Amino acid sequence: MLCKLIKSDPKKWPDIVSVDKGKLRISFRRTIRVSDNDGTSLLPPDLGAFPLYSVSTLYSKLPQPMLAKGGILFPMHDQEAMWIKFESDLQYAIKVYVGGVNAVSGEPAVENMATRLRRQTLGAQGASLQDYVVTPNQRWIDGIAISPGVVRQFVATPSGNSNSVEAQITGEDAVAGIQFEITKRKRVDNKIVYIDSGSGPKIEILVDLEMATFRDLGKLVQKQRGVFGRKPYFFITQFDFWKQGMKIDDVDWLDVTLEDGNIHENDTIEMEWYDPNYHRRASVVWRDQGDQILEIDWPDENTVRYFRHRLSERTHHSPSRLRIWMSSKDSCFSDLTRTRWQCNLPNGLIYVQQILYGGWMPGYDIPANIKAEMALAAGGLIKQSIHNDPYEPDSWEPSSTITLNVQVLNASIFEAVTGKVPPRCPISERAYKAAGYPYFNIPEASSSVSGNFSGVKSLGQLSSSTNNSEETKSVKEQTDYSFWDHINYPLKLDTSAATPKFRTVSEIEEEVRNSRVVSRW
């Protein structure tokens, strides 16, 4: 499954994360902050979507920790509230994390012995162990599920001030932002594709285009040809990832499904064999990054085309937009079919530079006294159910799971980073009520799903000086959307991280039942 940013309105900013070719759409909605007291509010209004922006396009302005996490970001004001909207044509199981803490179960993304013990206790009490939402039944989530039918609202807070859900559960803001683990339902539909290695007959492969990745395809080719010392490197000419606004590195590229790579039945895919254990490297000077030296594996038997694609994976630019030269062998790089051995390259540096077609860079600096990264804290109570998983345990495909990281940027420095004024903070709840605007009581099926958030306090509980009725500071509303029409907004999925295998609620319950716990009561 691939992700990209799309616009709900061509005249405005990108505001939707499109997953699996638009079959799942996720957006982050602006809203008012509900009263942070003992009362439970009905659903607050939808005041529009937050603008979404790719972290990779802001490499010169964002702090290094945010750049390293990658993904996308959107701006939020301090103590501003939001909710997450899901639109889905198919069934997906989605784990939502706030700073690495599961918003449904309250457990950390990396499970430990304490997680197992808490689950055993919940299992003995007959409580729900579900830690994900299921679309299309779940159309939104407004906060952390503190009890059946009740959530505490998502509210932004500066990272590092100990107020976030993450800091209260784990002791620090190490992750911040929002993370998603998305798993799709199974579907088996094998089709024939052909592999052309440049020598010998084409290889016929039977594969599920929707579910199989290029990593899976490589294993099938190795198995059919009986070649395991070398690996196939595919040239995907049917689909230009870069023109689609996607940055593909070596790991992400292998985890793209054939369907997302625009591979169809009876298509032919070109490839070259390469030896991953043979490390003859080319030293490349990347002129666009202050003459940074890149070490690129380029075996003697592989072509210039192979080298250009490997280089594009490291620089995150399309091969067609890279100018490559060497003082004495410039002409070699124009013939894509020549191998490194045939080029007879002398020892020395190879230079690469992006071919530019115009661009824009804001002339601002981030104030040193402002915390750039925001985390999510708990706000007031909202009536909302997390729907039970209605599907059979074997309905889901764990191998399809992808991870998406979403960061929240402090709205006070959004202009310094992008050159545009962020959307102004919504009106207060008091002003909203005074204007006679409604809250929404949408009927939902009862559910037993909730998490362990007993140690999490809301912002109102943490600070006696918090006044939820105070008018928020007015910020000039953004009305000029032309800037967003002239930028690229690629996404990079973190598939290289060690994502735990997806387990259904039935599998978790079975694990708890099989655990042998010594007990005196």
Q: Is residue 128 part of a domain?
A: yes
Q: Is residue 446 part of a domain?
A: yes
What is the domain extent for residue 262? 190-274
More confident residue, 131 or 13: 131
Q: Residue 27's closest CA among 41, 12, 6, 45?
A: 6
Task: Kindly state whether residues 326 and 414 are assigned to the same domain.
Answer: no
The span from the CA of 364 to the CA of 65, in Å, is 19
Tell me what pLDDT residue 500 has.
Answer: 63
Lowest mean pLDDT among 157-171, 240-254, 314-328, 483-497: 483-497
What is the helix (H) or strand (E) element at residue 184, kind and residue range?
Answer: strand 178-184
pLDDT digits (tens, 9 = 90+) for 448-458: 898 889 889 99
478 pLDDT tier (thresholds 50, 70, 90): very low
Q: Is residue 465 part of a domain?
A: yes
Residue 386 has pLDDT above 90, yes or no: yes
- The helices-and-strands tally (H runs, E runs) of the chain is 11, 24
More confident residue, 458 or 246: 458
Task: Kindly state whether residues 168 and 286 are assigned to the same domain.
Answer: no
Task: Kindly state whether residues 268 and 390 are assigned to the same domain.
Answer: no
Task: Kindly state whether residues 156 and 256 are assigned to the same domain.
Answer: no
The last residue of one of the domains, among 309, 333, 354, is 354
469 pLDDT tier (thresholds 50, 70, 90): very low
Tell me what pLDDT residue 166 has.
Answer: 94
Residue 245 has pLDDT above 50, yes or no: no
pLDDT digits (tens, 9 = 90+) for 395-418: 888 888 889 999 999 988 888 777
Task: Kindly state whether residues 150 and 247 are assigned to the same domain.
Answer: no
More confident residue, 323 or 327: 323
Tell me what pLDDT residue 406 has.
Answer: 95
Sequence-ordered list of residues with C-beta below 8 angstroms from that of 346, at least 6 positions apart, any chain = 326, 328, 329
Task: Kindly state whether residues 175 and 227 are assigned to the same domain.
Answer: no
More confident residue, 238 or 99: 99
Q: Is residue 520 part of a domain?
A: no
Highest mean pLDDT among 103-107, 117-121, 512-516: 103-107
Tell me what pLDDT residue 277 has.
Answer: 72
The span from the CA of 238 to the CA of 264, in Å, is 9
Residue 66 has pLDDT above 90, yes or no: no
Q: Is residue 425 part of a domain?
A: yes
Integer angstrom CA distances of residue 405 from 16, 99, 181: 14, 10, 9
Integer angstrom CA distances of residue 183 from 29, 107, 287: 23, 19, 40
Percent over 90 (pLDDT), the chain: 24
Domain count, the chain: 3
Q: SS in 3 state form for 86-149?
A: EEECCCEEEEEEECCEECCCCCECCCCHHHHHHHHHHHHHCCCCCCCEEECCCCEECEEEEECC
Average pLDDT over residues 4-10: 88
Hey, how many other C-beta atoms are within 10 angstroms of the C-beta on 89?
Answer: 13
Tell me what pLDDT residue 329 has.
Answer: 62
Residue 199 has pLDDT above 80, yes or no: no
Percent over 70 (pLDDT), the chain: 82
Task: Kindly state whether residues 42 and 111 are assigned to the same domain.
Answer: yes
3-state secondary structure of 321: helix
Residue 518 has pLDDT above 50, yes or no: no
Tell me what pLDDT residue 92 has.
Answer: 93
E strands, 200-321, in order: 203-208, 231-235, 268-274, 281-286, 292-297
Q: Is residue 521 part of a domain?
A: no
111 pLDDT tier (thresholds 50, 70, 90): confident
The span from the CA of 10 to the CA of 28, in Å, is 18
The last residue of one of the domains, among 226, 244, 274, is 274
Residue 286 has pLDDT above 50, yes or no: yes
* Cis upstream peptide for 136 (omega within 30°): yes
What phi and psi, each to the nearest 5 degrees, are found at residue 278?
A: -100, 105
Residue 471 has pLDDT above 70, yes or no: no
Tell me what pLDDT residue 366 has.
Answer: 55
The last residue of one of the domains, among 244, 274, 304, is 274
Strands 402-410 and 72-76: parallel
pLDDT digits (tens, 9 = 90+) for 420-429: 788 887 777 7
Q: Is residue 242 part of a domain?
A: yes
Tell me what pLDDT residue 328 has.
Answer: 61
Residue 388 has pLDDT above 80, yes or no: yes
Task: Kindly state whether residues 265 and 325 are assigned to the same domain.
Answer: no
The span from the CA of 222 to the CA of 204, in Å, is 12
Highest mean pLDDT among 297-311, 322-336, 488-502: 297-311
3-state secondary structure of 204: strand
330 pLDDT tier (thresholds 50, 70, 90): low
Residue 193 has pLDDT above 70, yes or no: yes
Q: Is residue 519 part of a domain?
A: no
Q: Residue 504's closest CA among 364, 366, 401, 382?
A: 401
Side-chain half-sphere CA neighbours of 248 within 13 A: 27
What is the helix (H) or strand (E) element at residue 505, kind and residue range?
Answer: helix 505-514
Tell me what pLDDT residue 514 has.
Answer: 66
More confident residue, 279 or 88: 88
Task: Kindly state whether residues 300 and 208 are assigned to the same domain.
Answer: no
Tell me what pLDDT residue 361 has.
Answer: 37
Residue 266 has pLDDT above 70, yes or no: yes
| Average confidence score pLDDT of the chain | 79
Task: Kindly state whether residues 59 and 18 are assigned to the same domain.
Answer: yes
Highest mean pLDDT among 106-110, 112-116, 341-345, 347-351: 106-110
Tell me what pLDDT residue 125 has.
Answer: 78
Task: Kindly state whether residues 26 and 159 are assigned to the same domain.
Answer: yes
CB-based burial, 317-332: b 16+ in 10 Å, e otherwise: bbbeebebebeeeeeb
504 pLDDT tier (thresholds 50, 70, 90): confident
pTM over 0.85: no
Residue 363 has pLDDT above 50, yes or no: no
Task: Kindly state whether residues 13 and 136 are assigned to the same domain.
Answer: yes
Tell me what pLDDT residue 506 has.
Answer: 79
Residue 476 has pLDDT above 50, yes or no: no
Pull the structure tokens for residue 377.
Answer: 């804290």
Domain at 315, CATH number: 3.10.20.90
Residue 206 has pLDDT above 80, yes or no: yes
Residue 370 has pLDDT above 70, yes or no: no
